[in-house]
Structure 1
């Protein structure tokens, strides 16, 4: 008996942080900071990425909701802070040695 194929995601789909819609495909990211980009898969969010005092700030807005992802370097580590409403999640990445 052959197992049923597993459902496949759209090849350009990105993970959805905190229920946020998929991010735009990497080859469709804006070249200039502050340029708005609409997400893939016919979804409605607007993404804007800016530099603010050495931090990379990515804001997504859709259907009355908003998330922000702030990336910054501290002590050689990448700190990612995701905020949606009053919920805040922080991830710390460090280079493997």
Structure 2
């Protein structure tokens, strides 16, 4: 888990629009998300892990304990039940709402963090570099 702590700047994404469509996001939400070049900040506050995404005037923050389900608001204000756990060196984040599910797998490779996003049969990849 320690490898994730710190700041990560967005570098590039592949297939991200298709992933957002698979999630059922509205067209306007997709436009906004595609325009963002976020910085992700992972930190620890007591026993909680905090993930903060900052881009332009958009900020999103979640706080969680590994392996414990928590409520999360995603995308177009949808309420999801989420859980984050470690699988080896990978940080796996599963979100479930309505009849949908998204799996976000983050892995640190040196100075890069590769994030694989999966929904339905769609796979997107976002790459970040340590800030």
Q: Which bin holds the TM-score, normalised by the shorter protein?
A: 0.5 to 0.7
Task: Name the structure 2 match of 1:67.
Answer: 102
Q: Distance in 1 between matches of 2:96 and 2:73?
A: 14
Q: Report the Cα offset of residue 40 of structure 1.
A: 4.0
Bigger Rg, structure 1 or 2: 1
Q: Report the Cα offset of residue 43 of structure 1.
A: 4.3
Unaligned regions of 5+ residues in structure 1, if any? 1-16
Query: How many equivalent residue pairs?
Result: 75
Unaligned regions of 5+ residues in structure 2, if any? 1-18, 26-59
Normalising by structure 2, we get a TM-score of 0.49
* RMSD between superposed Cα atoms in Å: 2.5
Q: 1:20–1:82: structure 2 CA closer, same or farther, 3 Å change rule?
A: farther
Q: Where has structure 1 moved over 6 Å in runs of 4 or more?
A: none
Bigger share in strand: 2
Q: 1:20–1:60: structure 2 CA closer, same or farther, 3 Å change rule?
A: farther
Q: Where does 1:50-89 land on structure 2 (aligned, <5 Å)?
A: 50-89=85-124
Bigger share in helix: 2
